[in-house]
Structure 1
Amino acid sequence: MRKTAALPCGRVAKWVALALWAVLLVPAVLLAGRLGDVEENDNSAWLPGNAESTGVVERAEGFGLADALPAIVVYDRPEGLTPADLAKVRADAEAFKGIENVVGQPEGPVEAQDGKAVQTVVRIRKDRTGWEGIGKAVDAMSRVGEANADGLGFHVTGPAGQASDSIKAFGGGGGLTVITSVVVVLILLVTYRSPVLPLLPLLTAGGALVTSEAVIYLLAKHAGLTVNKQTGFILTVLVFGAATDYALLLVSRYREELRRHEDRHEAMAEALRRSGPAIVASAATVAVSLMLLMLATLNSTKGLGPACAVGILVGLLAMVTLLPALLVICDRWVFWPVRPSYGSAGAAEGGVWTRVGTAVSGRPRIVWIGTALVLGAMAAGVFGLKADGLSATDQFTGRPQTVVGEEIQSRHFPAGSGDPVVVVARAASAEQVRAALSGVPGIAGVSTPMVKDGEAVMLGELKDAPGSTAAMRTVGQARAAVHRIGGADAQVGGNAAVVLDTQDAAARDSRVIIPVVLVVVFLILALLLRAVVAPLLLMATVVLSFGAALGVSSLVFDHVFHFAGAEASFPLLTFVFLVALGIDYNIFLVTRVREEALLHGTRRGALTGLSATGGVITSAGLVLAGTFAAMASLPLVFAAELGFAVAFGVLLDTVVVRSVLVTALTLDAGRWMWWPGRLFRQQDGHRSVAGRPGLERVPAAGHPAR
């Protein structure tokens, strides 16, 4: 291990490591810039192949409906439309036909019964640029509509308008990277009290992010990995947060070793040898937990798992190779103004975390029971969480034009006009299926079937907004009705059906993946700690912490942010991130507690472990919480909700669960914490181990031996 640790930080090896990363980053930058070319941002692309709405997309391709989204163009004048207004609307409809990617003849214009609004439906084809192409077409339509408007209101809504506004919202991804970087730098400045040192972890994390994006591009291009804009912004905050956490642990240990070793190369080699196993175990646990998302049927979730696991592993690689090389190249001056000189005394350990341990040790059983009850009360809010999906207009935190346009449309036209359900059936049963669909209460009208090559397609206009609960209920009723007539050959799709199938797939994924994650993480902890009781208790604390975070988040979403609800995949993603990252910090704490217990018994081990790891783990938690909180800079409800829930959960886990609940449980359980391992069998294990000749006491990551 000593020789391996010296590889990236030797006198020659440091330059080799830097050169290798420099060579790697050149193609990585080029490939990372092409990640958007392989993104699948359509809801239908996220669904499993056996979803009914997916089948409709495939069967409707021959009718020109699969690769086009409807843009609903709404004009309004509160005092009533004039003949000049109607003439402009008709002229605009003709002009829209000349815009790139607009297909077919516009439907309308259709004037509202009150004479105050008019709408035209234009279909926009998706080209190789996907959403970007639709966004450009919508922008071109807006320029046409807003020209010579003379007080006439103009808005583009419907699926194409929503896609365009989503692109603008996700266009803040570059800003997210900047904000995340600023958050990391500010926290590292406070932690290190050095103006230069934070730049090295930041540069390393940036290199890890670019390299991760390049690898993900190759996987999406050649291995069928599904990625989207959501994957991109989650990857950004996860890589910056997790990689910086690993940097904190390594740098903390390196600073201490610089006081013990005159040669900085030897100091870094020892720091890697001491902190490396804990960092690797932590990253491996997170990566394995994320990889379990591949069990999902929802392609967006299935693709997110390996993409984020790539980010974690590349971040780990960068922090144990590139960062050590940079630190050694820069020498001790990088810690200015407080340089850790050889032979100098380090800062006294303990402080606030020693006092917390002392307070908890007085009555540990009362402390853990009380803490668990408080967390349980916080978790009660989870019953109010509405994670049944968001309508298209509820997905934004602001009021882009698609939201305003839909509000205007709903005041003057049927809520479902312009975005119908799509029904595909065999031509022989088309009229019977049409009759059955017409009899569904939530269907306002059905088009005449279009027949081609033995297949028939018809459109059903919804009475309710496509993303509403009522529309979901109508889709279910429509499926039941057409299945009775046309059997499995009759299928109901469209945007409302896609939303319903997405909700069903997300619910199934949560039921399957959450138990598997718990079992796998338990097995990892059991192998790492060589015990059964400790992993069970740690898993219980993390699940309780997750429930508390989700419960508080539900209350905040409802009563503070006034969000309409949450995406169906929100609970699962929050669970995976909080459980993986929560166990991450528990690994750092409990591995140190176990090492101390080998020498001094469980009670002293628990208190010493808390005192020794408190500062660096708290700093790591602040970094990770800060990076996820930066997601709120995107004007998207999903980003704001996931960012808040994970940030709050990480802080709760770092400050309360790890320091108070886990410590109190360890003190109360005593040697039973390590059942049935060697520590449990030793009774007072420190008496039989501490005096053993040649026993080397190994400190945890980032902390010196005592």
Structure 2
Amino acid sequence: MTSFDHRTNSRVPFVHLVGRKRSILVVLAALVVSVLVMMFAPDPVEGSGAGSNLPDDAESALAKKATAQLPGAEDAPAIVVFSRDGEKLTGQDLTAIAGLRQDLADLGEASPPVPSEDGTLALLALPLPGDVSNDENADNVQELRDAVAEWTPDGVTAEVTGGPAVQADLGKVFDGADTRLLAVTAGVVALLLLITYRSPWLWLVPLAVIAVADRVAAVSLDYASNLLDKPIDGSITGITSVLVFGAGTNYALLVIARYREELRRYEDRRDAMRHAVGAAAPAILSSSGTVALALVALTLAESPFVSSIGAAGALGIVVAVLYALVVLPSAMVLPGRWLFWPFVPRQGQEGKEYSGFWGRLGTGVTRRPAVVLVVSLAALVAMALPLLGLKTGLGQSEQFLDEPESISAQKTLSEGFPGGLSSPTTVVTSPDKAEDVVAAAKQVDGVEDATVQGRDDRYAEVSVTLSADPGTDDSLDTIRDLRVALDDADPKALVGGADAEDIDERATAADDRALLIPIVLGVVLVMLLVLLRSVVAAVLLASTTVLSYLSALGVGWLVFRWLDYSAMDVSTPLLAFIFLVALGVDYNIFLTARAREETAATGDATDGIVRALAVTGGVITSAGILLAAVFTVLGVLPLVLLAQLGVVVGFGVLLDTLLVRSVVTPALVAVTGRWFWWPNRLSKPHAPGAHAA
């Protein structure tokens, strides 16, 4: 079986950048530009709201803004919890704890120690500056912890919690995150490239090009952060880095695979690369365009975190595809054919793809396509069934893979004090209705206490302490009841605090899913229509990709339920949808774009898809495994959101690569026949080679 001799697509501008002198100039220019971009990079704008899912117009956000205008609002309480391994604290312990107030005087005026009713715990509250940067807050919390550890009596355990401590511990998650994530990602990519090409040095070229692209994308993100005055954090830069490495390496694999194929047809390696880029670029541009537009759609989200991920990810994809199609081809032709040693492709050499595993798989699938299709779809549906019990919204204590001190301190505190003491709920009302709000709040089940904390001419702040621990279902139900109860006391009252923010974030995430999922599906369908010019193919491919996403999310939900997590993070379903649908459709684009070429040559849709699978199966599978591994690397950052995203997207990419693209799509083409390409001219009966030109 011989392959159709594809012509260089001269309309692709990247083709003309490959040449004896032009390639050297392209590589040198890329190096100079990359170095200059990285040399003059500004520091990014950082802020505690970078990873927030809370929009500015949410009730809890408005409450926070209002309380910030009250006297003393610039301070945020840190709480030190003292315990003696379940035993009662002695009189000497309490005396020593009281003496700590003087030792902490440089940090602020601490409250007198308050013992619990059973005497096993005592707490001490210390206001820390709230209007400081993340780094300054982290320094203040660490200074407090160091001072408490130095002066705490022997046998007594002291833990620091409260808003400033939680914020500081969250910031620690990303200490050294860029270096750690980059090192692990580069290591994974290098290993998989080495296994894929079985060459001691070929992998160095794509790895170097994509690594530079990753750094340029990261620095470009810093420029954008400064220009737009938008804060970013480690989760945003981490996800962007994974996208650049994953997608960029995928595109590189496709270019190199096509280049190796063309080296068997052309003596001059530059001619081979020009033909490779001309043939591969349309599919790569279509797939990257789909991902980029899907990510741009995320900027419409109400959630600041999701919107930032969209903008940063789209920027990363643009940089990745530019380096893959502009820099990589020129870098690959400079060394010559020996780069593929010991498996150097020679002109006139027959490829083994058609007689290999993927060719045999395609033949087997299309022999009984209806049976294969039913079984495959049934398996995908079965994996999606756990979604019937899906819950979203993690409590504060479930945000971390490794429990930090601030969270363990909250658990200790709840053993002797009301659970909400470390994270009080705030109600903003008018000064003349403050007492009515206090009275109404105290009547709500689950409210331990309510007091007026401060007021001015415009606002009064009521601090409400809940009985339940922060972030639990009981505390969230209490907040909902509180909002209803306050409608009579003051219809304009604003309920804020961590639990109220949690409720508003969940509502925001639901609204974002309802808005963005249809938009992204529309983007995917339009891009498939533009590339394939077939309504049937576009609808079927988009549908299978969505089903693959649902299956991956269902399996991911099972995994995290087994790990005893109560819910998915509010951002996980939407971000996983964007990455899996946009990135997952890539593999179908690469397969069907090649199938269209082969069908034009053979005149048979089934034969075309089998030949396309035979040629692309190995490289697309390698790309899928690599992308899945890169997303799984997100788990090196101890944040549950990133771990969930890594598991769901990693498994989904494998599912899409190994089942949907390799089995379901060929079966669909075999079942529908030439109608798969309707209304493309390939859907009309024709002789082999009729549309080859």
State if a TM-score over 0.5 links the two structures: yes
1:512 — aligned with what? Answer: 515
Task: Pick the aligned partner of 1:171 from 169, 175, 185.
Answer: 175
Task: Pick the aligned partner of 1:185 from 190, 202, 206.
Answer: 190
Is 1:453 matched up with 2:457?
Answer: yes
Q: Contact between 1:482 and 1:491, CA under 8 Å: does it hold in 2? A: no
2:137 — aligned with what? Answer: 134
Cα 1:347–1:33 change in 2 (3 A) is farther
Give the whole-Å Cα distance in 2 for the aligned partners of 1:599 and 1:468. 62
Task: Pick the aligned partner of 1:13 from 18, 22, 36.
Answer: 22
Q: Counterpart of 1:155 in 2: which secondary structure?
A: strand
Q: Counterpart of 1:75 in 2: which secondary structure?
A: strand
Give the whole-Å Cα distance in 2 for the aligned partners of 1:68 and 1:240. 42
Cα 1:39–1:58 change in 2 (3 A) is closer
Q: Counterpart of 1:540 in 2: which secondary structure?
A: helix
Cα 1:95–1:31 change in 2 (3 A) is farther
1:406 — aligned with what? Answer: 410
Cα 1:225–1:590 change in 2 (3 A) is farther
Q: Contact between 1:507 and 1:569, CA under 8 Å: does it hold in 2? A: no
Is 1:201 matched up with 2:209?
Answer: no
Amino acid at match of 1:583: V
2:6 — aligned with what? Answer: none
Task: Pick the aligned partner of 1:438 from 437, 442, 445.
Answer: 442
Q: Counterpart of 1:448 in 2: which secondary structure?
A: strand
Once the two structures are superposed, what CA deviation does each residue of 1:196-231 show, in whole Å capped at 9, x if it has no partner? 121222222221122212222222222254533321
How far 1:342 sits from its partner (Å)?
4.5
Q: Contact between 1:177 and 1:236, CA under 8 Å: does it hold in 2? A: yes
Q: Contact between 2:130 and 2:164, CA under 8 Å: does it hold in 1? A: no
**Structure 1 range deviating more: 412-421 or 341-350:** 341-350
Is 1:38 matched up with 2:46?
Answer: yes
How far 1:482 sits from its partner (Å)?
2.2
Give the whole-Å Cα distance in 2 for the aligned partners of 1:264 and 1:95. 74
Give the whole-Å Cα distance in 2 for the aligned partners of 1:646 and 1:300. 18
Task: Pick the aligned partner of 1:383 from 375, 382, 388.
Answer: 388
1:502 — aligned with what? Answer: 505
Is 1:617 matched up with 2:620?
Answer: yes
1:566 — aligned with what? Answer: 568
1:87 — aligned with what? Answer: 95
**Structure 1 range deviating more: 504-513 or 392-401:** 392-401
Once the two structures are superposed, what CA deviation does each residue of 1:103-161 show, in whole Å capped at 9, x if it has no partner? x533442111121211122333345532x322222221121111154221021223322
Give the whole-Å Cα distance in 2 for the aligned partners of 1:375 and 1:66. 53
1:62 — aligned with what? Answer: 69
Is 1:539 matched up with 2:542?
Answer: yes
Give the whole-Å Cα distance in 2 for the aligned partners of 1:453 and 1:655. 65
Q: Contact between 2:353 and 2:359, CA under 8 Å: does it hold in 1? A: no
Once the two structures are superposed, what CA deviation does each residue of 1:391-437 show, in whole Å capped at 9, x if it has no partner? 11111222322232222111121111131111111112222222222
Give me the identity figure in percent: 37
2:600 — aligned with what? Answer: 598
1:476 — aligned with what? Answer: 480
Q: Counterpart of 1:120 in 2: which secondary structure?
A: strand
Amino acid at match of 2:95: A
Amino acid at match of 1:519: G
1:415 — aligned with what? Answer: 419
How far 1:508 sits from its partner (Å)?
0.9
Task: Pick the aligned partner of 1:158 from 162, 167, 189.
Answer: 162
Cα 1:541–1:97 change in 2 (3 A) is farther
Give the whole-Å Cα distance in 1 for the aligned partners of 2:212 and 2:71. 43
RMSD value, Cα:
2.1
Give the whole-Å Cα distance in 2 for the aligned partners of 1:64 and 1:343. 82
Is 1:269 matched up with 2:262?
Answer: no
Q: How many correspondences in the alignment?
A: 680
How far 1:83 sits from its partner (Å)?
3.2
Cα 1:57–1:658 change in 2 (3 A) is same
Once the two structures are superposed, what CA deviation does each residue of 1:509-566 show, in whole Å capped at 9, x if it has no partner? 111111221122112212221111111111111111111111111111112x222321
How far 1:671 sits from its partner (Å)?
1.5
Is 1:486 matched up with 2:494?
Answer: no
Q: Counterpart of 2:569 in 1: which secondary structure?
A: coil
Give the whole-Å Cα distance in 1 for the aligned partners of 2:311 and 2:46. 15
User: Which ranges of structure 2 fall in alignment gaps of 5 or more residues?
Assistant: 1-8
How far 1:506 sits from its partner (Å)?
0.5
Once the two structures are superposed, what CA deviation does each residue of 1:353-386 show, in whole Å capped at 9, x if it has no partner? 1111121112111111111111111110112222
Q: Contact between 1:228 and 1:300, CA under 8 Å: does it hold in 2? A: no
1:701 — aligned with what? Answer: none
How far 1:68 sits from its partner (Å)?
4.6
Give the whole-Å Cα distance in 2 for the aligned partners of 1:494 and 1:542. 39
**Structure 1 range deviating more: 283-292 or 564-573:** 564-573
Once the two structures are superposed, what CA deviation does each residue of 1:5-32 show, in whole Å capped at 9, x if it has no partner? 3443323322332233223323433566
Is 1:690 matched up with 2:693?
Answer: no
How far 1:71 sits from its partner (Å)?
2.4
2:13 — aligned with what? Answer: 4
Q: 1:197-596, aligned counterparts within 5 Å?
A: 197-225=202-230, 227-387=232-392, 389-488=393-492, 490-559=493-562, 561-596=563-598
**Structure 1 range deviating more: 216-225 or 314-323:** 216-225
Give the whole-Å Cα distance in 2 for the aligned partners of 1:496 and 1:65. 22
TM-score by length of 1: 0.92
Once the two structures are superposed, what CA deviation does each residue of 1:283-320 show, in whole Å capped at 9, x if it has no partner? 00111111111221111111111110111110001111
Q: Contact between 2:385 and 2:554, CA under 8 Å: does it hold in 1? A: yes
TM-score by length of 2: 0.94
Give the whole-Å Cα distance in 1 for the aligned partners of 2:167 and 2:71. 19
Once the two structures are superposed, what CA deviation does each residue of 1:227-283 show, in whole Å capped at 9, x if it has no partner? 333212111211111100001001112223333333333332222112111111110
Give the whole-Å Cα distance in 1 for the aligned partners of 2:335 and 2:272. 14
Amino acid at match of 2:194: L
Amino acid at match of 2:526: L
How far 1:599 sits from its partner (Å)?
2.3
Q: Contact between 1:48 and 1:299, CA under 8 Å: does it hold in 2? A: yes
Is 1:74 matched up with 2:81?
Answer: yes
**Structure 1 range deviating more: 642-651 or 595-604:** 595-604
Q: Contact between 2:600 and 2:689, CA under 8 Å: does it hold in 1? A: yes
Q: Contact between 1:38 and 1:217, CA under 8 Å: does it hold in 2? A: no
Is 1:650 matched up with 2:653?
Answer: yes
Once the two structures are superposed, what CA deviation does each residue of 1:160-188 show, in whole Å capped at 9, x if it has no partner? 22222222222252212211111111110
Give the whole-Å Cα distance in 2 for the aligned partners of 1:515 and 1:370. 28
Give the whole-Å Cα distance in 1 for the aligned partners of 2:14 and 2:93. 75
How far 1:577 sits from its partner (Å)?
0.8
Amino acid at match of 1:84: Q
Amino acid at match of 2:103: A
How far 1:53 sits from its partner (Å)?
1.0
Give the whole-Å Cα distance in 1 for the aligned partners of 2:639 and 2:548. 25
Q: Contact between 1:538 and 1:583, CA under 8 Å: does it hold in 2? A: yes
Give the whole-Å Cα distance in 2 for the aligned partners of 1:126 and 1:612. 60
**Structure 1 range deviating more: 580-589 or 436-445:** 436-445
Give the whole-Å Cα distance in 2 for the aligned partners of 1:569 and 1:24. 36
